[in-house]
Amino acid sequence: MNPFSIYTLVFAFVCIIYNFGWSNQLSELSYELIIFLLFTMLVMTILSFVTSKLFSYNFYKIEDTIGVKTNIKILLGLTLVQVLLQRDIPLYMISVHSIDNHGTYGTPIVLPIIMTYSTFLGIYLFHLILSGNKKRKEYIILFLLSFVPSILFYYRGTATITILSCAIMYIFYIKDYLRINRIVKIGILLLVAIYLFGFIGNLRLPEGQDILVLGDASGVFISSGIPSEFFLVYMYLASPLANLELNIGGFTSLDNFSLFYLSEIVPNIVSEHILSYMGESRVQIDRVLHAFTVGTIYARAFEYLRWHGVVFLFVHLVIYIFGFLLLLKKCKEFYLTGLCILSCASLLSVFSNMLIETSIVIPLLFCIFFYFIKKIRF
């Protein structure tokens, strides 16, 4: 398993469940899109095998070389500074006053550093935990503390990336010890997790709304007797592909390479300021249903440059993964942390363009940064 094979697996899985036909809002995929997706999955499968000769995709044990306890203290110290600068806490505002100030909260530079620092430390600490070090109990406590900023500042995205990256690392850890009974247990746990995700999602719907009505459930699903909790998860997984198909069928394009490059290639921590200075913003994609807002990694690229943008972005994805793997290869202690972050970005590409997200880019740079700090120190 690696970032290339994960891309193939996740897009193949979504394409399969898309054809279940559980929602009347999901139109048939065009031949152009099917051919493109099959081509990219074939390329990624080939690259998965080819790069296995160049890079290690196996778990290995490490020792703490950066002083994680000190780094967690620094993280919590920065978190305290942010709270004092802003004089409120998003978790308190949303739980007590039902005000979600997540989008406007935070000091520029300070908050992004805190959140990405916590992602890097969380994944690195999980690696230390799995390595079976004598300080394992201490590392578990530090690992939990790394989630404090995500909880206080209500950054669900950061927590999600950290948890998914850790889950991928755990798969690296157990893949050589997988047995039928363990696979069955994992499958059951996954089904329970999916059900709970759908259950919580249904609770968050406004009073009087039904997900089956909101998602325009088809007769196929309604007659199946499957709990509605699974329909919500289905819509989360299938709607990005439906949105991509809708945008492809829209026959509109901005035909602007500069805006495409700024919006889809340059990391958003930089591009947001440039676009704001230019009086521009990222294009909004068309959606089959207003509640489901994403359109895979490719939807916005199509809005900017049609198929040229989509192909360009796929090539960029390949170069991005390969380039970071080359950089991380020398960073022995941090290689697996970076590999899991890249794998997470590849996994989430079925929802959105994660290559530009600060929560992916900066933790990868932290892996390289700490390698050079360690090298200078010793």
pLDDT tens digit string along 275-327? 888 888 888 888 888 878 888 999 999 988 889 999 999 999 999 999 999 99
The Cα 169–Cα 285 span in angstroms is 33
Q: What is the pLDDT of residue 372?
A: 84
Contacting residues for 20 by C-beta, under 8 A, at least 6 apart = 220, 221, 234, 238
Q: What is the pLDDT of residue 317?
A: 95
Whether residue 100 is predicted with pLDDT greater than 80 in this model: the reply is no
Q: What is the pLDDT of residue 278?
A: 86
The DSSP string of 263-301 is HHTS-HHHHHHHHHHHT--PPPPP-SSTT----TTTHHH
In a domain, 111, yes or no: no
pLDDT > 90: percent of the chain:
38
Q: For 15-30, b where at least 16 C-beta lie within 10 A, e where not — what string? A: beebeeebbebbeebe
In a domain, 93, yes or no: no
The Cα 114–Cα 152 span in angstroms is 12
In a domain, 299, yes or no: yes
- pTM of the complete model: 0.89
Task: Say if residues 363 and 119 touch (Cβ distance below 8 Å).
Answer: yes
In a domain, 362, yes or no: yes
Whether residue 121 is predicted with pLDDT greater than 80 in this model: the reply is yes
The Cα 309–Cα 256 span in angstroms is 10
For the segment 105-122, the average pLDDT, to the nearest whole number, is 84
In a domain, 139, yes or no: no
For the segment 122-146, the average pLDDT, to the nearest whole number, is 90
Task: Say if residues 99 and 168 touch (Cβ distance below 8 Å).
Answer: no
The Cα 301–Cα 253 span in angstroms is 9
Q: Which two tokens stand for residue 282?
A: 């990222």
Of 56, 63, 59, 73, which is closest to residue 374 (Cα–Cα)? Answer: 63
3-state secondary structure of 23: strand
**Helix ranges (DSSP H) in 52-89:** 68-86
The Cα 297–Cα 313 span in angstroms is 8
For the segment 196-204, the average pLDDT, to the nearest whole number, is 70
Q: What is the DSSP letter of 52?
A: T
- The dihedrals phi and psi of 330, each to the nearest 5 degrees, come to -80, -15
Half-sphere exposure (Cβ direction) of 39: Cα atoms closer than 13 Å? 10
In a domain, 160, yes or no: no
Structural domain for 262, as ranges: 3-59+228-377
Provide the pLDDT confidence category of residue 66 given band limits of 50, 70 and 90.
confident
In a domain, 169, yes or no: no
Of 321, 179, 307, 330, which is closest to residue 253 (Cα–Cα)? Answer: 307
Q: What is the pLDDT of residues 244-264, one digit of tens each?
A: 999 888 766 677 888 889 999
Task: Say if residues 147 and 159 touch (Cβ distance below 8 Å).
Answer: yes
- Residue 177 has a CB neighbour count (10 Å cut-off) of 7
The Cα 360–Cα 75 span in angstroms is 18
What's the domain count of the chain?
1
The Cα 301–Cα 305 span in angstroms is 6
More confident residue, 314 or 112: 314
Contacting residues for 303 by C-beta, under 8 A, at least 6 apart = 247, 252, 253, 254, 283, 285, 309
3-state secondary structure of 78: helix
Q: What is the pLDDT of residue 344?
A: 93
In a domain, 171, yes or no: no
Provide the pLDDT confidence category of residue 185 given band limits of 50, 70 and 90.
confident
